[in-house]
Structure 1
């Protein structure tokens, strides 16, 4: 399994993901709204790879991306929301609720 986090973006939607020879192992999808909010709407990890921290790494990468692009994040996805609640150092990019 590759540890490399890949990114693809088109228009105002994007995806961070990792893959292996069987395809995508873990993914995080988002939309960028007109008000500069990055809405994380979905995270998923292939069932046999759950619990290995893959989605956690993708959330961290999305935070780094938001900081680079001067965006705020609305973690709509329940997994991402828990990550934001557990990592107070993400507070600087969390959108006001």
Structure 2
């Protein structure tokens, strides 16, 4: 069973990381400068691709964003593509510029 943890430093830079059997298999790199959470990059190991881990990272980031009253600046191509594909799901947190 995969688990996702937010690992963030004092400067609010870090990542949501996904682990399977104790090994890191993917991450979504972020930075937070209230009220904006910027997503820079999402990556899943080749061996774990196609198993929905990127979507799990996205869902976890979205839940965190909503719980903390933030907006998302999606610089990551994957996140930006998902926001464009499903605007009805993400419009409430999507910081468009």
TM-score (norm 2): 0.87
Q: Which segments of 5 or more consecutive residues in structure 2 lack a partner in the other structure?
A: none
Pair 1:70-2:86 in alignment = no
**Equivalent position of 2:23 in the other structure:** 23
Q: Work out the CA distance in 1 between the residues paired with 2:56 and 2:15.
A: 13
Q: Which segments of 5 or more consecutive residues in structure 1 lack a partner in the other structure?
A: none
Pairing 1:70-89 to 2, within 5 Å after superposition: 70-88=69-87, 89=89
SS in 2 for 1:32: strand
Tell whether the 8 Å contact from 1:26 to 1:43 is kept in structure 2 after alignment.
yes
Q: Work out the CA distance in 2 between the residues paired with 1:87 and 1:26.
A: 23
Task: State how many pairs are aligned.
Answer: 95
Q: Work out the CA distance in 2 between the residues paired with 1:96 and 1:83.
A: 14
Q: Work out the CA distance in 1 between the residues paired with 2:78 and 2:20.
A: 22
Across the aligned residues of Structure 1 and Structure 2, the Cα RMSD in angstroms comes to 1.5
Higher mean C-alpha displacement, 38-47 vs 12-21: 12-21
TM-score (norm 1): 0.87
Tell whether the 8 Å contact from 2:2 to 2:21 is kept in structure 1 after alignment.
no
Tell whether the 8 Å contact from 2:37 to 2:73 is kept in structure 1 after alignment.
yes
